Amino acid sequence: MSLRWWVETDLKHMKSSHYESGVGRNWPWASGGSSILAEYGTLHLEFMHLSKLSGNPEFAQKVMNIRKVLNRLDKPQGLYPNYLNPNSGQWGQHHVSVGGLGDSFYEYLLKAWLMSDKTDDEAKKMYYDALQAIETNLMRKSSGGLTYIAEWKGGLLEHKMGHLTCFAGGMIALGADGAPSDKTGHQMEQAAEIARTCHESYARTSLKLGPEAFRFDGGVEAIATRQNEKYFILRPEVIETYMYMWRFTHDPKYREWGWEAVQALEQHCRVEGGYSGVRDVYASTPNHDDVQQSFYLAETLKYLYLLFSDDDHLAFDHWVFNTEAHPLPVIKKDKTDIPNEVE
């Protein structure tokens, strides 16, 4: 039975059910009920893939419409705020983050271009323009020489970098080859510097596991200063960047750093029923939170596996990873479409 049949059947069900109520709901805390950039901006890969599989262009059209709205909106300093009001079509409060609330939107601009076999020029331009705005407005270097990506709130910088933001090292490395020739080396240097900063956030803790967020102010660098930022919940972003940096440079330090993380996970997070997050990475002994997040299996362990695998295992010229590390095939333009069948 074909996958197309399953998709079309599911669509018919959706159209006859409560799913198509036409009523949207957003988090009340999100700048007056605004939509969140990382949510509405992180559909592109899956919907393009779904159109490819089903032969139904409607999915692709939906995400392209979102992109066109964003592309024509005025952006403060070229940056994309985390909140957009779905009723007015205008930005909410001007809070910009390459970490939580914003992260995967930037990742998907780049990966939409890669998934299109490098034919989606609009996605490419939006990505490199956004990266330039991030470099100009958010990327800073500490007095100790660590490059970090700050957050932007109404024009003021908060010199904090979240663990989630550490994915950006891998993203910048992945996109460096497509940058103008005079920017490729520069972007690889940026990626390596971010990877180093994120490694330092691990190395400067007692448990050798990174905090949820770390700061560069008040005389500290790459250290969490607030209790509610000292936890580690098995996040994958630092490992993700190590994997990309290894694939592109083959510098052995990235495998060494990955192995340090493996040892820390085994020593401090392994429990009888699996793996647990810890509440304070600066404590001498782990205080477990007794939660194994789903992304630990989907992403953290997968990126570790790929870090120590050969380059042709899920090679980047054939596969793109969505934001949860599920591989989706590059849609080759020079190949005859072959129907996907599910037994």
Q: Which runs of consecutive H residues, i.e. helices, occur in 55-152?
A: 58-72, 103-115, 121-137
Question: Could you tell me the two tokens for 208?
Answer: 């050798």
Could you give the angle at the alpha carbon of 236 between the alpha carbons of 288 and 315, nearest 5°?
Answer: 150
336 is in an annotated binding site: no
Catalytic site residue from 107, 151, 200, 212: 212
Residue with tokens 């429990």, as numbered in its chain: 271
What is d(CA 83, CA 331) in angstroms, rounded to the nearest whole number? 31
CA–CA separation, 214 and 230 (whole Å):
8
> Which stretches of 216-289 are assigned E, i.e. beta strand?
270-271, 274-275
Of 143, 125, 281, 251, give the one whose Cα is nearest residue 191: 251
The answer to whether the CB of 159 falls within 8 A of the CB of 148 is yes
Cα distances from 143 to residues 12, 147, 177, 195, in angstroms, run 59, 10, 30, 17
Q: Is 212 a catalytic residue?
A: yes
| Spatial distance between the Cα atoms of 29 and 49, rounded to a whole number of angstroms | 32
Produce one character per residue of 94-105: b if its CB has 16 or more CB atoms within 10 Å, e if not.
bbbbbbbbbbbb
Say which residues have a Cβ less than 8 Å from residue 216's Cβ, sequence separation at least 6: 140, 142, 146, 148, 150, 159, 160, 161, 222
CA angle 331/340/59 to nearest 5° reads: 60
Can you say which residues are annotated as belonging to the binding site? 323
Which residues are catalytically annotated? 212
Can you say which residues are annotated as belonging to the binding site for Ca(2+)? 323
